[in-house]
Amino acid sequence: MMSKKLLPLAAMEKILKNAGADRVSDRAKGALKEVIESHAEQIAQRAWDIAKHAGRKTVKAGDIRLAAK
């Protein structure tokens, strides 16, 4: 599933290095990318459902925050 080009691998490396990793393998970057993108898609779908339920066509920041809980 790593074919999607939503988030750059360089960002995954930065996240892992900010967490304290000295070195990061390409496979680790790819794995983090898959997990984050999957989680983000789930949050986005829940946020859209919240916005629709509220009678809106616009997803707002609060919808995202609520969906992420």
pLDDT digits (tens, 9 = 90+) for 44-60: 999 999 999 999 999 99
pLDDT tens for each residue of 18-43:
999 999 999 999 999 999 999 999 99
The tokens describing 66, both together, are 């609520």
Instruction: Specify the fold of 9-68.
Output: Histone, subunit A (1.10.20)
- Residue 4's pLDDT is 64
First to last CA, the chain: 25
At residue 57, the 3 state secondary structure works out as coil
What's the pLDDT at 2?
45
Residue 3 confidence class, pLDDT cut points 50, 70, 90: low
